[in-house]
Each structure stands twice: as C-alpha cells, then as structure tokens.
Amino acid sequence: MTTLIYKICTKALWRQAEEDGIFRGAPVDVEDGYIHFSTAAQVRETAAKHFGGQSGLVLVAVDAEALGDDLRYEVSRGGALFPHLYAPLPLSAVRWAVPLPLDKNGLHVFPDLAA
C-alpha cells in the first residue's frame, strides 16, 4: 500500500516544477532547508494555518515510500510528526496534482484524500 503525503503550493511554483522536472520547494522550504509536507490528517489544518483564504493553490499528492531516506518524520506543530523532505522532490514520486479551490466562505475544498 502506498502512503501519500501532501504539499500545498502556488500554481506558479508547481508550473515551474513541471517545467524543471523537479520541485525544489517554496521559499519557506528553501529557508528551512527541507520541503514541508503534511499527512492526510494534517493537510486541512496546514491549509487553514498557512494558506487561509489564499487562492491559486495546488494540492500535490506524493508517494512517501518513493522518497527513501531523504524523507523524515519530525516533531512540529503541536508535537505531531510531520513529513520533511531533505532533498528536491522528484516528479516521479508525484501521484497527482489538482487545484485547491476556495468555497464561497473562503475555505479550501479538498478532494478525498488517501492516508
């Protein structure tokens, strides 16, 4: 069974990743030295906390096992373990990427997510 982890980023950053064939991270990722991900149970809270009301976003699902030892689960918000990737994200590990629209109340609308 594949474990999916999720990345939220702007459409512009994701388009650049598709052109480059690799995702090097958002500015916060570059600054922190790793790419921030969330599990299915965490991603809605991540969207609300870090991307509240922001449109023009993409939700990217990534096969965690395909990332090997560069992926580490580390304590972060509220003591929870969050996935952090200490390398660029190879697009071969991406299972899908979809727009993350806002509803009429300004909340992000998520597809059904696999854990």
> pLDDT category, 79, cuts 50, 70, 90?
confident
- Does the structure show a pLDDT above 70 at 115? no
Q: How far is CA 40 from CA 5, 67, 86, 115, in A?
A: 7, 17, 20, 5
The pLDDT of residue 77 is 72
| pLDDT tens for each residue of 1-28 | 679 999 999 999 999 999 999 999 999 9
How far apart CA 100 and CA 70 sit, in angstroms, is 27
**What's the gap between Cα 70 and its chain centre?**
15
Give the contacts of 91 (CB within 8 A, at least 6 positions apart): 17, 18, 21, 22, 23
CATH 3.20.170.20 fits 4-99, yes or no: yes
Q: What is the pLDDT of residues 25-76, one digit of tens each?
A: 999 999 999 999 999 999 999 999 999 999 999 999 999 999 999 999 999 8
